[in-house]
């Protein structure tokens, strides 16, 4: 039994007052409408209407059933409305994850502009330095630095960042090479996001053979940045993460005796390979791509 069709027939019978009027309204035969009514009565084992050759009277149970049918169809109409109106993105929620360093600068500007352009799509943002499993954590998009290693995912390169060695502005830039080397050896603090092999290569090239275990380390990007800004030590940063501090001269880049920029880091948007993207997902993906690659 097509319950929705039969519910519509019954509602029309009640509202039009007769089988004939209901049949005319629904563009059906009176016998078809009568069959719908009889089938509902048999299925639910109740009398919905008392009818004879000249009249039709809805029973008490029929009035209750009518109200319930109206509620069902109203709920269905409410559920269908966004899709029938073409606004499937209404009340959509996208769950995304990004590293701490991306929570500052141009990336957050991009998210802000997306929210302004698509106010009906809400963002559930998870900030984590761990490479969360998108399937297990029910995440739609991840933004990560480094190459993709999960074959279940697709990735789109967004931009490239350079690494640099920086010191707080109160630490003098006027050092000779030996003094600068001693300062790096004494004050370098290792962040969680740096490739240790790259760091060893850099230290070896400038003549510092100190074991990495002998350096201080901080695993939180914001705490790390605050530590360097307070003068606790010398830091290794991705360029975009400290661009405001470089611009206002609260940090300066150490380029002697050798600039740190050994390796740049590519940042990617990562999403499920085998799941068809909904319209809200496609809108977000395309917005991100256009933001970073406008041409």
Helices (H), the chain: 3-16, 19-26, 30-44, 60-84, 106-117, 177-187, 196-205, 221-229, 243-247, 279-292
Predicted model pTM:
0.63
**Three-class DSSP category at 252:** strand
> Is 180 in the same domain as 98?
no
Closest CA to 251 of 238, 235, 275, 262: 235
Domain range for residue 147?
A: 92-158+267-292
Task: Verify that 113 and 144 share a domain, yes or no.
Answer: yes
DSSP state string for 125-168: EEE-SS---TTTTT-SEEEEES----TTEEEEEEEEEEEEEEEE
Q: Are residues 237 and 118 in the same domain?
A: no
Question: Do both 232 and 288 map to the same domain?
Answer: no
Pair (75, 142) in one structural domain: no
Tell whether 150 and 171 lie within a shared domain: no
Q: Are residues 45 and 98 in the same domain?
A: no
3-state helix/strand/coil string of 72-100: HHHHHHHHHHHHHCCCCCCCEEEEEEECH
CATH number of the domain within which 70 lies: 1.10.10.10
CATH classification at residue 276: 3.40.190.10
- pLDDT band for 148, please (50, 70, 90 cuts): low
Inter-residue contact 36 to 19 (CB < 8 Å): no
Question: Do 234 and 186 belong together in one domain?
Answer: yes
- Summarize pLDDT for 6-59 with one digit per residue, the tens: 999 999 999 988 898 999 998 889 899 999 999 999 998 999 988 876 778 899
173/252 same-domain check: yes
């Amino acid at each position: 039994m097509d319950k929705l069709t039969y519910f519509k027939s019954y509602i029309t019978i009640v509202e039009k007052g007769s089988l004939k009027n209901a049949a005319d309204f629904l563009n059906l035969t009176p016998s078809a409408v009568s069959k719908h009514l009889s089938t509902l009565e048999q299925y639910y084992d109740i009398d919905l209407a008392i009818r004879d050759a000249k009249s039709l009277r809805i029973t008490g149970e029929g009035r209750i059933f009518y109200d319930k049918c109206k509620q069902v169809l109203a709920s269905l109409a409410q559920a269908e409305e966004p899709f029938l109106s073409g606004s499937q993105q209404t009340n959509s929620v996208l769950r995304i994850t990004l590293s701490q360093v991306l929570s500052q600068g141009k990336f957050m500007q991009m998210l802000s502009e997306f929210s302004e352009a698509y106010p009906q799509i809400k963002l559930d943002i998870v900030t984590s330095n761990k490479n969360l499993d998108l399937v297990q954590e029910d995440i739609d998009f991840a933004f990560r630095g480094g190459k993709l290693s999960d074959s279940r995912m697709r990735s789109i390169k967004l931009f490239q960042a350079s690494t640099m060695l920086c010191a707080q502005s109160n630490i003098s830039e006027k050092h000779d090479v030996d003094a600068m080397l001693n300062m790096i050896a004494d004050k370098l603090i290792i962040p969680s996001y740096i490739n240790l092999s790259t760091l060893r290569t850099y230290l070896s090239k400038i003549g510092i053979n100190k074991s990495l275990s002998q350096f201080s380390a901080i695993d939180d990007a914001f705490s790390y940045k605050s530590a360097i800004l307070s003068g606790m030590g010398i830091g290794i940063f991705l360029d975009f993460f400290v661009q405001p501090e470089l611009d206002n001269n609260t940090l300066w880049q150490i380029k002697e005796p050798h600039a740190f920029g050994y390796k740049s880091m590519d940042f990617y948007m990562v999403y499920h390979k085998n799941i068809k993207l909904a319209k809200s997902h496609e809108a977000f993906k395309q917005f991100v791509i256009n933001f970073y690659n406008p041409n």
